[in-house]
Chain A
Amino acid sequence: MGVGIEVRGLRAWFGASEALHGISVEMRPNTVTAIIGPSGCGKSTFVRCLNRMHETIPGARVEGEVRIGSTDVYGNGTPAVEVRRRVGMVFQKPNPFPTMTIYDNVAAGLKLNGFRNRRELDETVERSLHMAALWDEVKDGLKKQSGASLSGGQQQRLCIARALAVQPEVLLMDEPASALDPISTAKIEDLIYQLKERFTVVIVTHNMQQAARVAEWTGFFLMGDLIEFDKTQKIFTTPGDKRTEDYITGRFG
């Protein structure tokens, strides 16, 4: 089951330059939230702060509070490793592990977390590939084919399956379809729609139609500030802020 996300006063830096100027927002369990905004507005930085990936960049630093379910993400006793296990992430460019088979790609996270039971692994891999709508396409080459031998769209769904296999509570997707063709994009979007039954999904996207199609909630970022956060329908029909309106009507960005 998904859990809620609560962000309070989140600020993030790359070295001396501040990329997020105090973001506060609340996302409900089992919803899909789209994060939109022009390039460089801090969308990716924002989601990377939710699973503590931001701090893996040299010189990067975070302030503020993030709660995912009952976990205080930046709390003193919370290890980053634990946060990342509970908050899955899918990246812009598909990044399957090229030296592993399809099976091992999906099982990688489980093995890292100490799963060794053959049968349990088999079941989880199959279930995750089903959830990522990839099972039928790869079931024959599961333990023979390399993860890198798949097409781009399949690779991205493999990465989704890999993220789902560790049974996270939240799934972050950083422009998951921007490197894919329209058919693969449609498949991923269908998938996101189904995934919200089990997970809370946050998706960064450049594509406003995509946001409108998959998300119930939308946040608009501009130059490191969250300008507006509301129901997707409201954002796209009657935005409360002039800048949001300008952006979605294509006047800048």
Chain B
Amino acid sequence: MSVSLACELNTQKRPELHLADPQPNVSKLEVVASTTPEPAPQMRRPHASTAPDKIFKYLTVTAALSVVAVVLLIVFELVWHSRLAISKFGFGFFAGSDWDPVSGEFGALPFIYGTLVSSLIALIIAVPLGIGVAIFINEMCPRRLRTLLSFTVELLAAIPSVIYGLWGIFVLVPFLRVHVDPLLKANLGWTGLFTGPIYGIGMLAAGVILSIMVVPFISSITREVMLTVPQNQREGVLALGATQWEMIRTGILRNARVGITGGIILGLGRALGETMAVTMVIGNRPEIAKSLFAPGYTMASMIANEFSEATSQLYLSAIVEIGLALFLLTLVVNGLARLLVWMTTRGSPSRVYG
């Protein structure tokens, strides 16, 4: 009798207890559990109701599944809205290089070319830069500077891309036009990559902007995988009489190469999908030109520019199909990158005994 009375008292006091309780570790679970007729307070936990756990579980499962559902819905919508272009052009869509909305000719090749070339330029610049930054921060940087430097580099990733675009238009493009492009033209003009009129705006400017945006991705992933290389690998190389650079090359970079590749591909994924900054400096002309000074167009920037102008159903459908292609491309690239990074940082396939 006294036991049940205590329980009732407990139940009545419940809201007050809950609010006034200074201990944060007394959870809602326990308060709910106190309504069940369990005699000893310390016995409540093992016999606590599982209902809140179940609710919590279903909530989280719903949240997790909704992400998957969103991805599937996006794929479905992209396919559905591009059905007109898919049925009209088939695979020829990706081989055609004419983009003429007026006469209803749609070929995706200039955009695919622009996306790939601008991303390639970005990687050519950003890979050595990003890996160099990672090596310096991890291996050579004075401790005090390390935090500041890595913070600054990672801050680059937080700058909105439209700001990069503005900076590109007002600073980078004039700089390229006046100082860099003429030099390239004079010295490397024979390659055919740096010929023709110099506007500043064009494929090269887009690649350079992208490279700056991609560096933080490459360097932070590279730093992360470099840190997973065991100390004994460094010492093993040093003990053979290696210099610091040889140690970094043989002991660290060689062991981390799979993960670094993952970081590079992750950067590529970012470069492929980048829209705003590229749109502002690439020149937006659907042409395939060998010279990097010439204006180009990427898949992402075309979608952003022309979506609102698409008047015919076929035009709109062609734009959505390019969106579908871009989506699948970045999905595959990112998936591959994550897999490579995961392989080095978690289930490393080449583990050393012990």
Q: B353 within 8 Å of A by Cβ?
A: yes
Q: A21 within 8 Å of B by Cβ?
A: no
B351 touches A98 (CB 8 A): yes
Q: Interface residue count for B (Cβ, 8 Å)?
A: 25
- Find the B residue at minimum CB distance from A52: B238
Q: How big is the A interface, by class?
A: 35 or more
- With a cutoff of 8 Å between Cβ atoms, the chain B residues found around residue A117 in the complex are none
- Find the B residue at minimum CB distance from A99: B254
Q: B246 within 8 Å of A by Cβ?
A: yes
A146-197 interface with B by 8 A CB criterion: 146, 148, 150-152, 155, 159, 162-163, 166, 179
B354 touches A112 (CB 8 A): no
Partner of A81, one of B243, B352, B353: B243
- Find the B residue at minimum CB distance from A111: B250
Q: A97 within 8 Å of B by Cβ?
A: yes
B235-268 interface with A by 8 A CB criterion: 235-243, 246, 250-251, 254-255, 257
- Find the B residue at minimum CB distance from A59: B143
A82 to B241, CA, bound (A): 6
Using known A-B contacts A91-B232, A95-B352, A97-B233, determine if residue A81 contacts B242 with beta carbons closer than 8 Å: yes
A93 to B233, CA, bound (A): 10
Q: B230 within 8 Å of A by Cβ?
A: yes
- With a cutoff of 8 Å between Cβ atoms, the chain B residues found around residue A51 in the complex are 239
Using known A-B contacts A91-B235, A112-B250, A146-B350, determine if residue A99 contacts B241 with beta carbons closer than 8 Å: no
A148 touches B350 (CB 8 A): yes
State how many angstroms separate the Cβ of A88 from the closest Cβ of chain B: 7
A85 touches B240 (CB 8 A): yes
A151 to B352, CA, bound (A): 10
A112 touches B254 (CB 8 A): no
A112 touches B241 (CB 8 A): yes
Using known A-B contacts A93-B354, A99-B257, A179-B354, determine if residue A159 contacts B236 with beta carbons closer than 8 Å: yes
A10 to B239, CA, bound (A): 20
The chain B residues found within 8 Å of chain A, CB to CB, are 143, 230, 232-243, 246, 250-251, 254-255, 257, 350-354
The chain A residues found within 8 Å of chain B, CB to CB, are 51, 53, 56, 58, 81-82, 84-86, 88-89, 91, 93-100, 108-109, 112-113, 146, 148, 150-152, 155, 159, 162-163, 166, 179
List 20 extra interface pairs beyond A93-B352, A97-B237, A166-B241, CB under 8 A.
A53-B235, A58-B143, A81-B243, A84-B238, A84-B242, A85-B240, A85-B241, A88-B239, A91-B235, A95-B235, A97-B233, A97-B255, A98-B255, A98-B352, A99-B350, A109-B241, A112-B237, A148-B352, A159-B236, A162-B240
